[in-house]
Amino acid sequence: MQALFQGISFTWNWLTGQSKLLFFQEEDRLESSKLRSRVVSEDDENSLLKLSLSEEALKENFDYSFKTWMMLGVFLRENHQWEQAERVFKKAMQMVEESAKRMENSENAFSSSSLTSPNVSLLLLEMARNLEKLGKIEQAIEKLEKVIQLNVSKQDKVDALAELAWIYLSDEKFEKARLFISQIEELGNEDKRTRQLISHLLGNYHLSMGEPDLALQHYEKTVELDSTCVDALAVLGDIYFHHKKEKSKARTLWERAFTIDPLNNSISHYKLSNIIMKEDKNYERAKSILDAALKVDAKDANSNYLMAFCLDEMQCEAKDVVMFHYSEAMRLECQKKNLFVRFSDYLVRLGKYEWAIGILNTGMKLKPKETITFLSLREKIYETTKNYQNALDDCELLLKLISQTAISGSSSVYNTTHATQMSRDEVQERVATLKQRL
């Protein structure tokens, strides 16, 4: 058996077609039925956990070879390497199919335990979970339904039903999801893991049905049963933030979730980093969270905006990077008013006045209620560039808009609360000064 593990090596050959080798190191002495490995490749993320098995060492032991490939697939999936995981899972399934053919020709080729339903059902479950991550939902459902049809353990059936419930919850087919949850409940909840699954599913179901108080109870129970459940911690944070208005509690839960799995897409990375920037002024910490957010979704408009602002506050020397994130936020139609304020201000500091004016003009089109804010900023740019006629025109328009807002008796027409805005008296003084200059 020792020779079996001595023959295992990490390589690029199968997954990348390259010849670079990385050698496997044992954490322990390797228990008889599990292979536990840890690989860290900081230089090249694409090299994470590329595994090939020595055929010479493994060709006579299907169980170890199969389990090792499947465990690698799980490890890759949990590290968000879903495409690589899919290839590994396919390799494991290929081994199952090849061993079945060999058994037809030779009764002694493999142990009869090689093709038992637990092997197949577990592989189908893990493949389905990975297919969900890849957005291949129909394929995932097909594999989960196969698991239920097999003569599998109660736990495998519970897991398959739970995955189907999650899929239908995500697809907003709530009653269908509830039926699968009920089937799990009918199977019994004697063990802690099943109770945790039921609580988690019910929490999501009640939240989806607009029942946050019931959802809160179930999510609290979920975290009580499994303190490392990142999805539950993240959503629990959302409930405290949005429904209970307990920002401090929400932050604690989000930070716990982030510590466990920074790349989990359930975490409100934007809100967490925003709180840290506002309350702690800890921009390095906020940036690390935003880095993770953009790895999860590079097209998230709010995260791009906040990254630009964070880098700006850190006085980042890579100005093209700051402008890239501001521009991405604009392209992705970020609706934050301060995006237009801060981006235009950043461009003014770089002397890019025409671009800054263009940003403010876009802001007025997209957020007309903030016109007074954007006009105040644009007028200052015109003054800076000695375009006094345009500055005067903006001031006169400002006086008109401020008067309209005052007559309405509220800010329902235009928002007048932003710190960059000028008062009526300030605008009138500016008008007088500009007329003298002209």
- pLDDT tens for each residue of 212-259: 999 999 999 999 999 999 999 999 999 999 999 999 999 999 999 999
Q: Distance from CA of residue 259 to its chain's centroid? A: 14
Give backbone dihedrals phi and psi of 142, rounded to 5 degrees, phi first.
Answer: -60, -45
With 60 as the cut, is the pLDDT of residue 11 above it?
A: no
Write the DSSP assignment of 274-317 as a string of letters. Answer: HHHHHHT--HHHHHHHHHHHHHH-TT-HHHHHHHHHHHHHTT-S
CB-count exposure of residue 164 (10 Å: 0-12, 13-18, 19+): buried
Residue of 249, 289, 245, 251 whose CA lies nearest to 270: 289
pLDDT tens digits for 391-416? 999 999 999 998 887 655 554 456 66
Residue 381 token pair: 């740019």
What lies within 8 Å, CB to CB, of 330 at 6+ separation is 339, 343, 359, 362
Residue of 325, 311, 420 whose CA lies nearest to 372: 420
pLDDT tens digits for 257-305? 999 999 998 899 999 999 999 999 999 999 999 999 999 999 999 999 9
Q: What is the amino acid identity at position 308?
A: A
Residue of 30, 51, 16, 81 whose CA lies nearest to 263: 81
Rounded CA-CA distance 291/430 in Å is: 43
What lies within 8 Å, CB to CB, of 99 at 6+ separation is 62, 109, 110, 114, 115
What is the rounded average pLDDT of the residues 366-388?
Answer: 95
- b/e string for 240-267 if b means 16 or more Cβ within 10 A? bbeeeeeeeebbebbbbbbeebbebebb
pTM: 0.72
Q: What is the pLDDT, as a whole number, of residue 417?
A: 62
pLDDT tens digits for 346-370? 999 999 999 999 999 999 999 999 9
Q: What is the pLDDT, as a whole number, of residue 131?
A: 94
DSSP secondary structure letter of residue 422: P
Tallying the residues shown for the chain, one arrives at: 438
Do 363 and 370 meet the contact criterion of CB atoms below 8 Å apart?
yes
Residue 275, number of CB atoms within 10 A of its CB: 20
Percent of the chain with pLDDT over 90: 60
Do 8 and 54 meet the contact criterion of CB atoms below 8 Å apart?
yes
**3-state DSSP: the chain helix, strand, coil percent, rounded to 5?**
70, 0, 30
Residue of 257, 297, 248 whose CA lies nearest to 275: 248
DSSP secondary structure letter of residue 327: H
Residue 210 backbone class (left: φ over 0; alpha: ψ -120 to 50; beta: rest): left
Write the DSSP assignment of 354-386 as a string of letters. Answer: HHHHHHHHHHHHH-GGGHHHHHHHHHHHHHHTT
pLDDT tens digits for 138-164? 999 999 999 988 878 888 899 999 999
Residue of 426, 356, 425, 430 whose CA lies nearest to 392: 430
DSSP bridge partners of 11: 21
